[in-house]
Amino acid sequence: MKKVITYGTFDLLHQGHINLLRRAKALGDYLIVGVTSDSFDKNRGKLNVRNNVLERVEAVKSTGFVDEVIIEDYVGQKIDDIQKYDVDIFAIGSDWEGLFDYLREYCEVVYLPRTEGISSTMLREETQDEVKFGVVGCGRVARRFIPESSFVSGVKVVAAFDTDADTLKNYVVTKKDIKPCLSFDALLKEVDAVYVATPHLSHYDYIKQSLLAGKHVLCETPMVLRGERAKELFELAENRNVVLMEANKTAHCPAFNHLMVMVKSGVIGQVVDINASLSKLWDDDLTLREFNPEQAGGSLYELGSYPLLPIIKLMGVHYDDLILFSRMKGGVDMYTKGLVRYPSAVCSFQVGLGVKTEGNLVISGTKGYAYVPAPWWKTDYFELRYENQNENKKFFYQWDGDGLRYEIQEFIRCVIGHRFSTARLRRRESICMAEIMQRFTERQNLYEI
């Protein structure tokens, strides 16, 4: 029996895919198709895949040409699969001409003609409306948004606004297609969605005005600093039929999401402890907004959303107790340690703007533990470690650019799919973070050290 194997993403299955599978099947007696996994696609920079891997597998099976479907999940898998399945012919589209000649050492390589005039990219562009973005707050975080958004189809930044005229001018000076707006109301008239990257205390008003105007909102973390305000805004967004999402880049990082799924599946047993740390030594410049108590400065407001993320994702929003310990200076916390008690676990987090910590993430379970080295919030590598070191596993990923492209892509998916929430950072999780910020503001169970 002659075996043939081919690979592809097979997103938005179209006639070109069907023709390719038919031609591949005609080369032999048994056709194996490798469909790329969601995480593998993201690692290769394919952020715009519309269908998830299960939908793509079912679509491939439905063509009737396929005898077996496998999942392609890592670089170098093609060689392993060819040997594992005793493949005679590797077939791929002619647009890859020459790139897979290295496989001739293992089997025959055939480049099949592609169907002209159709592709998944073309279909995505034809079926996806362009979302016009306006940037509010043109500081250092917002400067990353435009280059990162260029990696996501359907996004166009068309306007910007900042209360500081010079900052606004500097932001748009080299960006010919972006209109500088002299008022926030003027910006709202130009856009479909708003990216809020202003100081923390202004988030609530900008978000609310945007939602009332029927605009989708992606807001930098922390979204707001009071739980009831977070609830109010999410309810308003749903009532106005628009998307509101907190822009926590770690929550949308492919590697971090894979880690969360693996831990929830029980690979390290029951989680009994989580420790997450994040710190920056910025106290040499106390003129920064981050050290101004009137601008919600301090380490918890500035950094707390990140170490709280794995705790809330894995243990939930219903904790029994929260105790905070802070080192204060000039009215802001230069360092805060938090202990979060759950019915079956005790978790801790550390954040600092004037104290340096290791900056890693450790998730301890009854069978083993997960270890993510610093900077864990830009996860590109983690380990699962066990008592028997022969069982240890290492996982490597790619973190592209500044990481904002992942949150932008998920935001656009929610807009296109009319989803008010994303599993990567659910509304209740954002609300829980805001409630914890509020507890700090009100000095509940807070001890100065």
Q: Which of 252, 191, 5, 17 is nearest to 121 (CA)?
A: 17
Number of residues written out for the chain: 449
Q: CATH number of the domain at 3-122, out of 3.40.430.10, 3.30.365.10, 1.10.1740.10, 3.40.50.620?
A: 3.40.50.620
Question: Residue 410 gets which letter from DSSP?
Answer: H
pLDDT given for residue 116 in this prediction: 67
Superfamily name with CATH number, domain 128-250: NAD(P)-binding Rossmann-like Domain (3.40.50.720)
79 CB-side CA count, 13 A: 9
Domain boundaries, the chain: 3-122, 128-250, 254-398
pLDDT of residue 254: 84
pLDDT digits (tens, 9 = 90+) for 298-342: 999 999 999 999 999 999 999 999 999 999 998 999 999 999 999
200: amino acid identity, one letter: H
Identical fold between 3-122 and 254-398: no
Q: What is the pLDDT of residues 13-47, one digit of tens each?
A: 888 899 999 999 999 999 999 998 876 656 555 55
pLDDT 10s digits, 102-147: 999 999 999 998 876 665 555 455 555 689 999 999 988 889 999 9
CB 428 within 8 A of CB 317: yes
What are the residues whose beta carbons fall under 8 Å from the beta carbon of 423, sequence distance 6 or more?
none
Q: What is the mean pLDDT of each run of 10 residues along the chain (449 residues)?
A: 93 86 94 85 59 82 93 87 95 91 95 73 58 93 90 90 92 85 96 97 98 98 97 98 96 90 94 96 74 91 97 97 95 95 97 90 98 92 95 87 89 88 93 98 95
Query: Which CATH fold would you assign to the domain 254-398?
Result: Dihydrodipicolinate Reductase; domain 2 (3.30.360)
SS3 content of the chain, % helix, strand, coil (to 5): 40, 25, 35
Which residues contact residue 212 at a Cβ distance below 8 angstroms, ignoring those fewer than 6 apart?
Answer: 236, 240
Beta strands 332-342; 321-329: pairing state: antiparallel
42: Cβ contacts below 8 Å, ≥ 6 apart: 254, 406
User: Which residue do the tokens 């600092």 mark?
Assistant: 352
pTM: 0.78
